[in-house]
Structure 1
Amino acid sequence: MNHVLRTLLTLLFATSALFFSGCATKRGEVALQVPTTKAEAVPSNGQQIYINSVVDRRMFEPKPTDPSTPSLDPSEAQSDTIKARAVGRKRNGYGMALGDILLNEDQNVNSVVKNALKEALTGKGYQVIENKDQITPQTYMADVKIVKFWSWMNMGFLALTISCEIETKVDLKKEVDAKTYNVHVKAADSFQTGMESNYLEVMQKALQQYIAEAKVEIK
């Protein structure tokens, strides 16, 4: 029994050491890659869409009890620009919130969701137009609200789980035709450390799932 206990304690210590060595307390940055599809690779469905707006509706809390709720390190900048780039919060083995995870300066959640949605719509054969001058009465106008876009960590006994959840409400309107779609995905995986690269891996997985789900959900 003592041998088993010592073994378990050794494993726990090793896991904690790995975790703390890979989990910085300071704010870090990641760059998400949104895949692109060549327009000629997908047959056109003869319909146009213009993405009119993408609005971040996420609610940040100063000290949430649930790590899946967006929050920022109070010792760092809290501007709207920073919030727009925030996609996660690191935590230690006791669940204490540490440094933030931001998208790099060239990205924010609005731009990532817009590009992901463009990829999904293009993959369904829509022509996604960029110029307002191309809008006609037959063009669908898309207004997108970001409800969730967050990554977080939960500590287990011998491993930790990093999760990422993305949810958007997509309103499509064309003349008298109006549709609303809810695109919601969650990805998760187990790791030995809370390195930013592990968060990025799960975020990329969630983004891929979001594109696939949007292709299915949006008619």
Structure 2
Amino acid sequence: MKKCLIVLLLTSVALLSGCVTGRRSVSLGVPQVTPGAVDKGAIQITSVADNREFQNNPLDASVPSINGDVSTMTPEQKSKMIGRQRNGFGKAMGDIALSNNESVPQRAQALVEAALKNAVIKSQPMAPRP
């Protein structure tokens, strides 16, 4: 009976601990900003380049990697990857990727555009006080 209780307890802990293995897909939203009336010029983002270099089993956790062999991934597959999930000891367990047809350069461009539009709105001069 005692062994059954221990097995049940260990199984419960394992199931409730939130394992990070496998690949998770997320969708990153971009905040909607209403641009203000600005006549100081224009900003144009022509291209965004993804210069990340993925490695197999890097020693540094900040180096992009995937669960598996990096050389088997196409550039399109790499552009959808965000990073790795790590457990409490820093060991890489699973991947985080963008869902659908999103890519990291597309999301980065959209976020920079939204930030610039927001900065333009906030930088509007205030009306003078009477």
User: Would you call these one fold, judging by a TM-score over 0.5?
Assistant: yes
Q: Select the residue among 41, 47, 52 that pairs with 2:41.
A: 47
What is aligned with 1:34? 30
CA shift digits 1:170-201 (9 cap, x unpaired): xxxxxxxxxxxxxxxxxxxxxxxxxxxxxxxx
In terms of Rg, which structure is larger?
2
What is aligned with 2:21? 25
CA shift digits 1:68-102 (9 cap, x unpaired): 11101116962211211111212234433222100
Q: Select the residue among 54, 73, 76 that pairs with 1:78.
A: 73
**How far apart in 1 are the matches of 2:23 and 2:116?**
34
Q: Percent identity?
A: 33
CA RMSD of aligned residues (A): 2.8
Runs (4 or more) in structure 1 with deviation over 4 Å come to 17-20
8 A Cα contact 2:20 2:86, kept in partner? no
Higher strand share: 1
CA 89–26 in structure 1, closer or farther in 2 if over 3 Å, else same:
same
> Per-residue deviation at 1:23?
2.6
**How far apart in 2 are the matches of 1:26 and 1:81?**
19
> The residue matched to 1:124 in structure 2 has which SS?
helix
- The number of residues matched between the two structures is 110
**How far apart in 2 are the matches of 1:95 and 1:65?**
11
**How far apart in 2 are the matches of 1:79 and 1:30?**
20
Q: Select the residue among 58, 65, 72 that pairs with 1:64.
A: 58
Instruction: Say whether residues 1:97 and 2:104 are aligned partners.
Output: no
CA 75–63 in structure 1, closer or farther in 2 if over 3 Å, else same:
closer
8 A Cα contact 1:20 1:92, kept in partner? no
1:141-180 to 2 correspondences below 5 Å: none
8 A Cα contact 1:89 1:101, kept in partner? yes
**How far apart in 2 are the matches of 1:88 and 1:18?**
24
> Per-residue deviation at 1:19?
9.6
Greater RCO (Cα-Cα under 8 Å, separation 6 or more): 2
**TM-score, normalised via structure 2 length:** 0.71
What is aligned with 1:124? 119
Unaligned runs of 5+ in 2: 1-12, 124-130
8 A Cα contact 2:56 2:69, kept in partner? no
**How far apart in 1 are the matches of 2:14 and 2:43?**
48
